[in-house]
């Protein structure tokens, strides 16, 4: 079966800095793929390239086995791909419902809708469904998001992403700012999203979390993929070794540079 989303030989330079050099990536439907690597290894750049936030010098993207060009974030959204950015991209003065439908407001029927009036009731009902489905900790749908805890905000951003993503969700460091319990919620959420048949791409520095939720781990170093490891049976030491290059000569033979 062809991967849901596949990248082959992506290259991108910023001046003399080569952010991506022949980078490849693939993720299947209903699979959690972790993307790890040291700072500056090109993880975020790769995600930007996959979601239409970055022009590529070289390389091709395949979606469902067919070559595609993703040129804008809007196009990525239309294809069913959503990103939860590390800064969450929420509007702190709006409430969870307004944030969830921001840019995708449901218009009222008829003339009022064409004049720009919004169907707040329907949006609220749908948002409630989304939050209930995830069993989240967001209690008030009318309070400002800015007044909520980091974990709740994270959850709102994730619910927003998975409500619109029918194919792939990218999570950039979703647990970096969270406490133990909130982290647990996010990891459980990831599993539930995967069980719905959606592909999840997880960027994280936390090796135990990666090994817990991921099916496969793709390791990046110096702008390219250096290893793909199944999470089962892999140890933190092996991951760190692949990230830093310490294992280059004693490679486990699972996969060389792509």
Partner 1 sequence: MSVMTTPANPKTVTGDPAPEPVLKRLANMQQVWILGVLLVIIVAFSAAAGDKFLSAGNFSLIAQNIAVWAVLGVGMTFVIITSGIDLSVGSVLVFSSVIAAKTMQAVGGDGWSTAFAGVLAALASGVLWGLLNGFLIAKAKIPALIVTLGSLSVALGLAQVVTGGIDIRSVPEVLTDFNIYVKVLGIPALPFVALIVVVLGGILLHKTRFGRYTYAVGSNELGARRVGINVDRHLILVYALSGAMAGLGAVLALAQFGTTTIAGQSLTNLNVIAAVVIGGTSIFGGEGSIFGTVIGLFIPAVLQAGFVIIGVESFWQGVAVGSVLVAAVYVDQSRRAAMLRGSARKPLLSFLTRR
For partner 1, the binding residues (CB under 8 A) are: 73-74, 77, 83, 85, 87-94, 98, 102-105, 107, 115-118, 135-137, 139-140, 142-144, 146-149, 151-152, 181-182, 184-185, 188, 208, 211-212, 231-235
Least separation in angstroms between residue 206's CB and partner 1 is 12
Of 92 and 256, the one with the shorter C-beta distance to partner 1 is 92
- What is the bridge-based pairing of β-strands 199-203 and 5-14? unpaired
| DSSP SS3 for 63 | strand
- Residue number, 152 or 224, with CB nearest to partner 1: 152
Residue 41 or 201: the one with the smaller Cβ distance to partner 1 is 201
Distances, alpha carbon 191 to alpha carbons 71, 153, 212, in Å: 30, 19, 10
Give the shortest CB-184-to-partner 1 separation in angstroms: 5
Q: How far is the CB of 120 from partner 1 (least distance, A)?
A: 9
- Picking from 87, 88, 112, 113, the residue whose alpha carbon sits closest to that of residue 99 is 88
Q: How far is the CB of 90 from partner 1 (least distance, A)?
A: 6
Closer residue to partner 1 (CB): 80 or 107: 107
Rounded Cα distance, 81 and 73, in Å = 9
The nearest distance, CB 2 to partner 1, in angstroms, is 27
Check residue 107 and report its DSSP letter.
Answer: B
Are the C-beta atoms of residues 41 and 222 closer than 8 Å to each other? yes
Cβ contacts of 54-57, under 8 Å, gap ≥ 24? 54/12, 55/12, 56/10, 56/11, 56/12, 56/20, 57/11, 57/12, 57/13
Of residues 151 and 223, the one with the C-beta less far from partner 1: 151
* Of residues 39 and 142, the one with the C-beta less far from partner 1: 142
Contact, 80 vs 167, CB < 8 A? yes
Contact yes or no for 151/182 (Cβ under 8 A): yes
CB of 45 to partner 1, least distance (A): 16
Cα–Cα distance for residue pair 170/83, rounded to 1 Å: 5
Minimum CB separation of residue 35 from partner 1 in Å reads 19
Residue with smaller CB distance to partner 1, 24 or 170: 170
């Amino acid at each position: 079966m062809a991967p849901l989303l596949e990248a082959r030989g992506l290259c991108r330079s910023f001046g003399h800095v080569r952010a991506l050099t022949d980078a490849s990536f693939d993720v299947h439907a209903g699979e959690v793929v972790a993307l790890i690597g040291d700072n500056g290894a090109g993880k975020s750049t790769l995600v930007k390239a996959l979601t239409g936030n970055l022009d590529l010098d070289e390389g091709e993207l395949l979606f469902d086995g067919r070559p595609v060009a993703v040129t804008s974030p809007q196009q990525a959204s239309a294809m069913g791909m959503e990103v939860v950015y590390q800064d969450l991209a929420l509007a702190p003065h709006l409430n969870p419902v307004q944030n969830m439908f921001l840019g995708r407001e449901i218009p009222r029927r008829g003339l009022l809708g064409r004049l720009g009036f919004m169907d707040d009731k329907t949006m609220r009902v749908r948002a409630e469904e989304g939050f209930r489905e995830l069993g989240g900790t967001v209690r008030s749908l009318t309070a400002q998001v800015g007044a909520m805890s980091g974990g709740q905000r994270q959850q709102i951003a994730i619910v927003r992403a998975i409500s619109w993503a029918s194919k792939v969700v990218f999570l950039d460091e979703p647990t970096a700012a969270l406490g133990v319990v909130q982290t647990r919620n996010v990891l459980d959420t990831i599993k539930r999203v995967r069980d719905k048949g959606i592909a999840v791409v997880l960027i994280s520095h936390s090796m135990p979390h990666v090994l817990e939720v991921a099916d496969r781990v793709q390791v990046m170093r110096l702008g390219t993929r250096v290893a793909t490891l199944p999470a089962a049976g892999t140890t933190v030491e092996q991951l760190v070794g692949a990230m830093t290059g310490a294992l280059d000569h004693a490679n486990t033979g699972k996969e060389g540079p792509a």
